[in-house]
């Protein structure tokens, strides 16, 4: 038996115990985790500095260095996030869909953890801590595979988790941070469908594609966020402009930022010159189709591969569409099932947009940047799913659970 399989089986066994833990026990564990993080901040930060130095020597992109780097404020922020997860309601143990059939048979559903979750992250120590907190709260086990860029940080965080479990005499294998794995080990882990119930990859499109193609375990993924804002005929242009600026420039490297603007032809002459000036003033490069270019003197011509493209920086594709249907069609052709927004004053088209557009989160008159578990009232999130199975859109605590049928009879038989 390979080490990875043994570690996964230990984690699964620990998860079975955590699955039956009372809410108070899990909350105490989260409090201990937050304390452990604060107490061990110096060790975590030292490890992280070493990782960052090694990564910079190896030529890390600025984007990745941002995600990898921790500092005191960020560690305190993570500790507070762990405390906040403790304050959220525990979905495990909820009873729903209670039905007493005419025969007297009582049929209910009991909410239970998913089991053991494999979390695969590249250089995201914050995501690791958050994932650990969410899985503890939901009574799941977590086995984490990190990128080699954060090997030392991951080991330090493993100590942080261990200390929290040990302070309550609980089995620390329930959160197992693996040593850095090569792709062969990762492939082996992805075959352990008897032991691991779900895989959540967080990272670049290449990683997610590798995991999806090699996994025999269900994968919850988002490949990319190609988010559109459609400015409808008769939209409030001032409001639409704010949605556009916020969606494009507030944090352009994130998956819920805007990549493309679609404007109804009747709004183009008034809206686009203003929008273009505001965006260019903020450093945004505009790639326009011929219909939009007329109103955007400082734009480049958009190429076919600019539609459906995730720029992840201050670039925006812009297109003028003849009508609402053409906007729906463009989003159907180029959207990524992540976040889609309409700016409109027409309630019928707002409802049609909400119903017909295929995405995990569809918004009317709200910024795409609000598609986030925290912003949408879930309390926290472990990721944003762009596939429809099990969870679609931001995944909070409830999405880390499932239900089983529990049935109570008085000797009920089948005839």
Torsions phi, psi for 283 (to 5 deg): 85, 15
Least Å distance between CB 340 and a second copy?
Answer: 10
Nearer to a second copy, 3 or 104 (CB): 104
53 binds a second copy (CB under 8 A): no
Q: Taking CB under 8 A as the rule, which mask of x and - marks residues 326-345 in contact with a second copy? A: ------x-------------
In the list 85, 86, 112, 227, the residue contacting a second copy (rule: CB under 8 A) is 112
10 φ, ψ (degrees, to nearest 5): -65, -40
CA distance 374 to 52: 28
Residues 141 and 154: their CA atoms lie apart, in Å, by 17
Beta carbon nearer to a second copy, 202 or 248 = 248
Q: Is 361 in the site for a second copy (CB under 8 A)?
A: yes
Does residue 324 belong to the site contacting a second copy (CB under 8 A)?
Answer: no
Applying CB under 8 A, which part among 29-37, 82-90, 182-190, 405-413 lies near a second copy? 405-413
Taking residue 194's Cβ as centre, other Cβ atoms within 10 Å add up to: 12
Identify the DSSP state of 171: -
Nearest residue (CB) to a second copy, 277 versus 332: 332
Check: CB of residue 97 under 8 Å from CB of residue 109: yes
Rounded distance between C-alpha atoms, residue 219 and residue 208, angstroms: 9
Q: Return the residue of 79, 81, 86, 115 that touches a second copy, per CB under 8 A.
A: 115
Helix (H, G, I), strand (E, B) or coil at 198: strand
Rounded CA gap, 378 and 185, in Å? 34
Strand partners, 342: 230, 364
Would residue 178 be called left, alpha or beta, if left means φ above 0 and alpha means ψ between -120 and 50 degrees? beta
Helix axes 237-249, 265-281, angle to 10 degrees: 40
What radius of gyration do the chain's Cα atoms show? 24
Tokens of 21: 């833990």
Check: CB of residue 130 under 8 Å from CB of residue 79. Answer: no
Out of 130, 175, 371, 382, name the contact with a second copy by CB under 8 A.
Answer: 371
Question: Terminal CA-to-CA distance of the chain, rounded, Å?
Answer: 47
Give least dist CB 291 to a second copy, A. 26
Closer residue to a second copy, CB minimum distance, 80 or 209: 209
Q: How far is the CB of 402 from a second copy (least distance, A)?
A: 5
CA 310 to chain centre: 16
Site for a second copy in 243-272 (CB under 8 A): 243, 246, 250
Contact string (CB under 8 A) for a second copy, positions 177-196, x = contact: ----------------x---
Sole binder of a second copy in the list 23, 212, 237, 285 (CB under 8 A): 212
359 is an interface residue for a second copy by CB under 8 A: yes
**360 near a second copy, rule: CB under 8 A:** yes
Q: 85 or 357, CB closer to a second copy? A: 357
Report residue 26 as tokens: 């899990």
- Compute the least distance from the CB of residue 370 to a second copy, in Å: 5
Does 110 interact with a second copy (rule: CB under 8 A)?
yes
In the complex, which residues of this chain contact a second copy (CB under 8 A)? 16, 20, 93, 99, 101, 105, 107, 110, 112, 114-115, 193, 197-198, 212-213, 216, 218, 236, 239, 242-243, 246, 250, 332, 350, 354-356, 358-367, 369-372, 375-377, 387-394, 402-414
């Amino acid at each position: 038996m390979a080490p990875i399989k043994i570690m996964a089986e230990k984690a699964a066994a620990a998860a079975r115990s955590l699955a039956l833990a009372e809410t108070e026990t899990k909350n105490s564990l989260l409090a201990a985790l937050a304390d452990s993080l604060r107490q061990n901040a110096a060790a975590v930060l030292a490890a992280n500095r070493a990782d960052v130095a090694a990564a910079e020597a190896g030529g890390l992109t600025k984007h990745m260095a941002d995600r990898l780097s921790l500092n005191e404020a960020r560690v305190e922020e993570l500790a507070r996030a762990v405390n906040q997860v403790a304050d959220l309601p525990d979905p495990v143990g909820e009873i729903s869909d209670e039905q007493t059939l005419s025969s007297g048979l009582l049929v209910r559903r009991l909410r239970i953890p998913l089991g053991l979750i494999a979390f695969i992250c590249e250089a995201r120590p914050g995501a690791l801590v958050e994932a650990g907190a969410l899985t503890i709260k939901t009574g799941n086990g977590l086995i984490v595979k990190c990128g080699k860029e954060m090997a030392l940080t991951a080991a330090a965080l493993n100590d942080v988790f261990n200390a929290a479990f040990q302070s309550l005499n609980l089995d620390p294998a329930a959160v197992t941070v693996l040593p850095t794995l090569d792709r062969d080990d990762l492939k082996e882990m992805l075959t352990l469908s008897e032991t691991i119930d779900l895989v959540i990859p967080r990272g670049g499109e290449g990683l997610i594609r590798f995991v999806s193609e090699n996994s025999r375990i269900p994968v919850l993924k988002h490949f990319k966020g190609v988010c559109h804002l459609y400015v409808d005929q008769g939209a409030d242009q001032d409001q639409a402009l704010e949605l556009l600026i916020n969606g494009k420039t507030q944090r352009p490297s994130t998956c819920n930022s805007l990549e493309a603007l679609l404007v109804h032809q009747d709004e183009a002459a008034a809206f686009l010159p203003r929008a273009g000036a505001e965006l260019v003033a903020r450093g945004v490069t505009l790639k326009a189709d011929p219909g939009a270019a007329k109103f955007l003197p400082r734009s480049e011509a958009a190429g076919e591969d600019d539609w459906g493209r995730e720029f992840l920086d201050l670039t925006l594709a812009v297109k003028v569409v003849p009508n609402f249907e053409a906007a729906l069609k463009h989003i159907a052709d180029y959207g990524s099932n992540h976040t889609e927004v309409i700016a409109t004053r027409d309630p019928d088209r707002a409802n049609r947009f909400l119903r017909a557009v295929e995405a995990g989160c569809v918004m009317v008159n709200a910024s795409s940047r609000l598609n986030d578990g925290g912003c949408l009232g879930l309390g926290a999130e472990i990721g944003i799913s762009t596939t429809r199975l099990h969870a679609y859109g931001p995944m909070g605590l409830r999405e880390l659970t499932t239900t089983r049928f529990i049935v109570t009879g008085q000797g009920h038989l089948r005839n």
